Amino acid sequence: MGEVALELHTSVPERIRPDMRLWILGDDKSRREVRVENVWPHRGSLVLKFAGIDSISEVEGYIGSELQVPLELRAELGHGWHYISDLVGCTVYDHDRSIGKVRNVRLGAGEAPLLVVSSGSIEYEIAYAEAYLKGIDTEHKQIRMELPDGMLEVNAPLTPEEKKRQNLKR
């Protein structure tokens, strides 16, 4: 067995084909190159069988991992579209103020993907929405936004007082 269903985040799933080499990015940021042995559609997804991974127990370690296409095989994106890997590591600016670096991008949490932005021990979730986006420079790893007043405070960590009040409600 050793088959895995993909959660697709591509508009060109037909590019994935047998003998294609891909990368699996693990939760620990390790990478493993794999070769697609077989691929077939199933209920709006794709199911892949990787060469050399022949059991469910072998493939279980990759559940939740990101499957990456090598840079040289990536499809050209239209204007305004960016690969997640191009966004991760970018510094997010609200007007001229640096908010932090994009650590991850969460998909499926609403209409717009969420940028997970870290600044020291503080983490923000910022909607990657066209209404807020003023410019992106992936070469210089910068995302310029104009966020609504109070947006960062909504996603800010709880203060000690807020934590205390929350615990009292339980």
d(CA 115, CA 127): 6
In 7-158, DSSP assigns E strands to 21-25, 31-42, 45-50, 66-68, 91-94, 97-106, 114-119, 122-127, 133-137, 142-145
Walk me through the domains of the chain, giving residue ranges and CATH numbers: 3-72 (2.40.30), 84-154 (2.30.30.240)
Summarised one tens digit per residue, pLDDT across range 115-130 is 999 998 889 999 998 8
The pLDDT value given to residue 89: 95
Summarised one tens digit per residue, pLDDT across range 28-64 is 778 889 999 999 988 888 899 999 999 888 888 888 8
Task: Name the 3-class secondary structure at 6.
Answer: strand
| Joined tokens for residue 14 | 């037909």
Among 12-21, 72-81, 139-148, where is mean pLDDT lowest?
72-81
Summarised one tens digit per residue, pLDDT across range 133-146 is 999 998 899 999 99
Among 41-45, 53-57, 108-112, 162-166, where is mean pLDDT lowest?
162-166
Per DSSP, 71 falls in state: G
Specify the pairing of strand 142-145 against strand 91-94. parallel
